[in-house]
A = this chain, B = another copy of it.
Amino acid sequence: MKRTAAYRLDDIAKRLGGSVVGNADVIISQVATLESAQAHQIAFLANSKYRAQLDSTKAGAVILSAADAEATSLPRIVCNNPYAYFAKLSALLNPPPQAVAGIHASAVVGEGVVIHAGVQIDANVVIGEGAQIGANSIIMAGCSIGAGVVIGENALLYPRVVVYHDCVLGNNLIAHSGVVIGADGFGIAMEEGRWLKIPQIGRVVIGDDVEIGANTTIDRGALDDTVIEDDVKLDNQIQIAHNVRIGAHTAIAGCVGIAGSASIGRYCRIGGSAGILGHLQIADYVEVSSFTLVGKSIKERGSYCGIYPFSTTQAWRKNAAQVRHLDELADRVRLLEQQIENLKK
């Protein structure tokens, strides 16, 4: 897809702030890494330890912090937060898809559906009765929107997202392909040797400015709602069970599983493939490492980890064999300590 926007370096600074050092006339049409940038591209240095890359870059200009401002003679924009600056400049050069108002002839729109101004509905979309689609939203090919769903403004649903009935999605939502919002939570009760299904009658309620990665699933609540607060960012293939609450500004990496009724604070960061057991409370500003199972509530902000260290399989075999006897080993050490005390006497 063609991108034709291009800006002079001083135009960029006028729009996004920062101060220009060097040739302000250089024309920038794209962002790139320091390694691969060409003359019409701007790169960024967010971490001083990569300063050496400035020497060899072919970028037309660079974004960097005051601390690194003199580390290159290239035309540059000096700013407080180069990574955030780069994000904003890239968004200027690579604007997100804009809705082209209209409903594709193959879309199937139920009775009483309210579609606000500027909405784009693509091929094979199915919208259940009474749903509402906010202004300027884009619903791409093959999405299925259940009855009574409410979607905010400027939402972007990529192809084949499914939203079950009655869920509420905020403004500026981005949901990638394969996302399923509002499927039944895993609620079953055993009676006389067979499972009974517990109807899942809550909803999923999602705030504004949320992004949801490909094939992530968010189950509807059993009785009350599952809640995703504003500015939550979810990567791919995350599983969020019924009645989970995720606090605003929390970011969760791929393949994480969060069990039912867990409540996660604001500004948390959860690493890839981590897990959080059900009914736990996690405080604000908690970081959980990749591959860590959080098995009890975390009441203090901070960084938490529970990864088994990897090694060669040969070394692992020896050490893992001892893991199975750790309690016994501790007993033996305790006994040795007593014996030493006795010998000393």
Contacts and interface: CB of A to CB of B under 8 A. Distances in A.
Given A183-B213, A272-B259, A324 B295 contact: no
Chain A interface category by residue count: 35 or more
B330 A311 contact: no
Interface string A121-143: 01110100000000000001110
A233 B178 contact: no
Interface stretch (A20-28, A65-73, A302-310): A302-310
A300 B185 CA distance: 30
Contact of A197 (B108, B178, B211): B211
Contacts of A344: 339, 343
A193 B344 CA distance: 60
A216 to B, nearest CB: 8
B302 A306 contact: no
Given A178-B215, A184-B176, A303-B313, A159 B162 contact: yes
Contacts of A330: 322, 325, 329
A327 B336 contact: no
A254 B165 CA distance: 22
B191 A32 contact: no
Given A147-B1, A189-B87, A239-B236, A311 B306 contact: yes
Given A176-B180, A309-B320, A310-B293, A36 B254 contact: no
A257 B239 contact: no
Contacts of A324: 309, 311, 315, 319
A265 to B, nearest CB: 14
Contacts of A337: 332, 336
B323 A312 contact: no
A208 to B, nearest CB: 11
A39 interface: no
